[in-house]
Amino acid sequence: MFNVKLVCEGITDKIILEAVLFAYLQSDKFTVNCIQPESSEIQGVPAEHGTGWKGVRSWCQMIQAAGGLEEVRALASEVDLLIIHVDGEIVFEAEINAGQPCPPPEHNVIKAESIVMSWLGLQELPQKVLIWVPSMMTEAWILRALFPSLPESSTCLDQAASPICIECLNDPKTTLLGKKPKLVKRKNRIKNGRSISEVKADKSAYLGIRGSISQAWPDLVDNLWSAARLQRNLTQALPIT
């Protein structure tokens, strides 16, 4: 039984990772436990960091301030792998402002990885740690897996790829609106006295597509640069004997 710890932007990312691990391991002999954002307890001390990429950043900076992953037992002997996730789109956030033109997607993925490293205060990752960066977000992987024939689902790996290829879409969540299964829905909320419309994921619906994601994993590895990178990193960090 593999024991995987996960730091991620949200619970739906955990669901997709579980589907990927099932496809990679060809087994359900693993557990994925979120230590951020579901439960941010390190050595029994509550640490509320919030969700999204800023929650991941806060968690990583806390780890750096505490003296490193080993100091807070994030890499205890019973942990086989620690995965830290952020979406590749963070490089275009105003606070980071490090995005490069896409395609190709790899420059922004690698930059996002280096940003996570800087949050952790590391020059290289410990052996049992892996950074997972979907381009531009996890929903792009879902869009390709469930709707591969859509123009937006075309690979970015072709030399003639356009900016609307799957790993360069600015907002694949919006592309999922109105499709079945109904994975996302538009919600309104009030911020600073103004109504704001957002596209939100439905956790229960995501649970229902895990099998489809696992089945589509070979195609994702073949056609998405960021999926192939995760596959290579898993092979090195969690080798199958």
Question: pLDDT digit string (tens) for 193-241?
Answer: 677 888 999 999 999 999 999 999 999 999 999 999 999 999 999 988 7
Q: Residue 13 has what pLDDT? A: 97
For the chain, which residues score pLDDT lower than 70?
38-48, 191-193
**C-alpha to C-alpha distance for 241 and 98, rounded to whole angstroms:** 39
Q: Which of these, 89, 76, 241, lies nearest to 172 by C-alpha position? A: 89
- Give domain limits for the chain: 2-138+209-237
The pLDDT, as a whole number, for residue 48 is: 66
- Residue 39: per-residue pLDDT: 55
Q: Closest by alpha carbon to 125, among 135, 116, 133, 134? A: 116
Q: Are 110 and 98 in contact (CB under 8 A)?
A: no
Q: What is the pTM of this model?
A: 0.93
Alpha carbons 155 and 142: distance in angstroms, whole number:
13
Distance CA 165, CA 157 (A): 9
pLDDT at 159: 81
What does DSSP assign to residue 149? T
What type of residue is 162? S
**Pairing between strand 45-46 and 41-42?**
antiparallel
Separation in Å, CA 135 to CA 113, 185, 204: 11, 21, 23
User: Residue 161: what pLDDT?
Assistant: 80
In whole angstroms, what is the distance from residue 55 CA to residue 33 CA? 16
pLDDT, position 44: 47
Count of helix runs (H) and strand runs (E) in the chain: 8, 8
Q: Quote the longest CA-to-CA distance of the chain.
A: 57
Q: Give the pLDDT of residue 237.
A: 92
Q: How far apart are CA 35 and CA 114, in angstroms?
A: 21
Check if the beta carbon of residue 64 is closer than 8 Å to that of residue 70.
no
d(CA 141, CA 28): 21
Find the helix or strand (DSSP H, E) in which 199 lies: strand 194-201
